[in-house]
Amino acid sequence: MRSCAALLPACRRRAETGTMVRPIFLRRATAADQSQIMALIRTVGINPMGIQWSRFIVADESGRIVGSGQIKPHSDGSREVASIAVAPECQGMGIGSAIVATLVAMEPAPLYLYCADYNEGYYRQFGFRALAPADMPPSLRRIHAIAHALSHVLTTVSGQTHRLVVMGRGQDQA
């Protein structure tokens, strides 16, 4: 991994303002991180399925995992940027961006992801674009179809109107 032991830029900013007590590093996850990754995923309330430490990079603050992200392979050969999570008290410091940028730099195109519609703008910064179903790989088209079907039920039950958006990056380079 290119930035395996890189001090995240956002954390340098914290140090300059005098509020920094410990640096935060990006590194590959180890087996010992599995429970902390799982806890972080549950804390931020995103999909807890397919959390396997060996596919993750993590942001580490003196042994505390404050950020995560993985590349999840699908049976059709497509690869998904997934489990992007930052501890609530560390959000807005550039950790999520450093994780996404590192995963994108590590992996060949194309890459896919899915997210709630309110996060679409976040991923556009990294070159991801919303895809029409015809442009999605079969695995993500299936997830999209299920989410679309369920969204009618959720809207009726909870009044929430969030859509799931499937995004892709670099399909033209494949």
Where on the chain is the footprint of ligand COA (CB under 6 A)?
44, 46, 84-86, 91-97, 115, 118-119, 121-122
Report, in Å, the least distance between residue 92 CB and ligand COA: 5
Please state the closest distance from residue 69 (CB atom) to ligand COA, in A.
Answer: 8
Residues 139, 51: Cα–Cα separation, whole Å: 17
Closest-CA residue to 143 (of 80, 55, 60): 80
Type of residue found at 132: A
Smallest separation (angstroms) from ligand COA to the CB of 81: 8
**Which is nearer to ligand COA, 43 or 52 (by Cβ)?**
43
**What residue number has its CB nearest to ligand COA?**
96
Between 31 and 99, CB nearer to ligand COA: 99
Our CB check for ligand COA shows the closer of 25 and 122 to be 122
CA dihedral sign, ordered 114, 119, 124, 126: negative
CA dihedral 107, 109, 7, 53 (to 10 degrees): -40
